[in-house]
């Protein structure tokens, strides 16, 4: 039921953090993984790490700016030389640019965050959907955040974009469930990644409040997301579509 053998999974931002943790889970359950990222060195480092850990599995990496439709068009021209179909798309690419209050964030920074976290999902999903429809199945998993639920004075663009992830997920699920394509979102809680490291050092007073509020009593690790991502990519979730699942150690219940 959870077997991903013969499935091709494309993960944007799969060269680190949550994306890399999901890639590990998919490889463990038999999928081939395509990692898409802007940083060539991180792409190659992640490929070396994954192929060493899963020597019998297939891992490919591609350089792409997922906010740029022309770059994405070129990406898929390359991908479809090696793969006929994408079975699983994980829209994970994301950034956060913080400011003390919303008005202090420049329009340029706002636009970059929203285009990376939200608009890229539309660009990527639009590229895979016709192939999934022709194949009669597909899985799209969008990565949101705790800030899909809560506001943030210091992360206004991030919160706005991640809130949009939930609504975009619902809209796509409404459109594509009839085609046997399930679209769902994962909302990570406070996970130890490169992205959150700067938060922990910049806002130590806020960081100190997170662990006591989290019922699990700890920050999450990227691999904590992999089980939910495997479920949503597998046959086990065939009748699940349009939902957003917090994976947060219970943070959102308080």
Q: What is the pLDDT of residues 217-248, one digit of tens each?
A: 999 999 999 999 999 999 999 999 999 999 99
pLDDT given for residue 26 in this prediction: 98
The pLDDT assigned to 201 comes to 75
Cα–Cα dist 202/133, whole Å: 45
pLDDT digits (tens, 9 = 90+) for 27-78: 999 999 999 999 999 999 999 999 999 999 999 999 999 999 999 999 999 9
**b vs e for 159-192, b when ≥16 Cβ sit within 10 Å of the residue's Cβ?**
bbbbbbbbebbbebbeebeeeebbbbbbbbbbbe
Does CATH number 3.90.76.10 belong to domain 8-253?
no
Contact 17, 46 (CB under 8 A): no
Give this prediction's pTM: 0.95
- Chain length of the chain: 254
- Token pair for 142: 């969008």
128 has a pLDDT exceeding 90:
yes
Catalytic site residues? 158
Supply φ then ψ for residue 63, to 5 degrees. -90, 130
Contacts by 125-128, CB closer than 8 A, 24 or more apart: 125/89, 125/91, 125/172, 125/183, 127/72, 127/73, 127/76, 128/10, 128/86, 128/89
pLDDT (0 to 100) of residue 195: 74
Q: Domain residue spans in the chain?
A: 8-253
- Indicate the average pLDDT of the chain: 95
Per-residue pLDDT, 196: 80
Q: Is the pLDDT of residue 200 over 80?
A: no
What integer pLDDT is reported at residue 5 of this predicted model? 96
Please list the residues that pair with 188 across neighbouring strands: 247
Per-residue pLDDT, 39: 95
Listed in order, strand segments (DSSP E) in the chain are 8-12, 32-37, 59-63, 88-91, 138-143, 181-188, 244-247
Q: Per-residue pLDDT averaged across 120-143, rounded?
A: 98
Mean pLDDT for 2-24 is 97
Token couple for 17: 């953090």
Encode pLDDT of 151-169 as tens digits. 999 899 999 999 999 999 9
């Amino acid at each position: 039921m959870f077997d991903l053998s013969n499935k091709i999974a494309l993960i944007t931002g799969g060269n680190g953090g949550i994306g890399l943790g999901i890639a590990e889970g998919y490889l463990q359950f038999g999928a081939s993984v395509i990692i898409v990222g802007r940083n060539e060195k991180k792409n190659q480092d992640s490929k070396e790490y994954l192929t060493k850990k899963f020597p019998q599995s297939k891992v490919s990496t591609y350089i792409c700016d997922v906010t740029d439709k022309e770059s994405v068009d070129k990406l898929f021209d390359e991908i479809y030389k090696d793969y006929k179909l994408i079975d699983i798309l994980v829209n994970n690419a994301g950034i956060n640019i913080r400011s003390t209050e919303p008005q202090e964030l420049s329009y340029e920074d706002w636009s970059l965050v929203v285009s990376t976290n939200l608009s890229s999902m539309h660009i990527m999903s639009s590229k895979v959907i016709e192939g999934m429809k022709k194949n009669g199945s597909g899985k799209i998993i969008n990565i949101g955040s705790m800030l899909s639920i809560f506001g943030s004075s210091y992360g206004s663009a991030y919160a706005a974009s991640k809130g949009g992830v939930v609504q975009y997920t619902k809209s796509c699920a409404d459109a594509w469930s009839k085609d046997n394509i399930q679209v769902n979102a994962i909302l990570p809680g406070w996970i130890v990644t490169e992205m959150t490291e700067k938060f922990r050092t910049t806002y130590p007073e806020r960081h100190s409040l997170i662990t006591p509020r989290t019922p699990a009593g700890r920050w999450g690790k990227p691999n904590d997301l992999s089980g939910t991502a495997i479920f949503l990519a597998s046959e086990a979730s065939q009748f699940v579509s349009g939902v957003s699942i917090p994976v947060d150690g219970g943070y959102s219940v308080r």
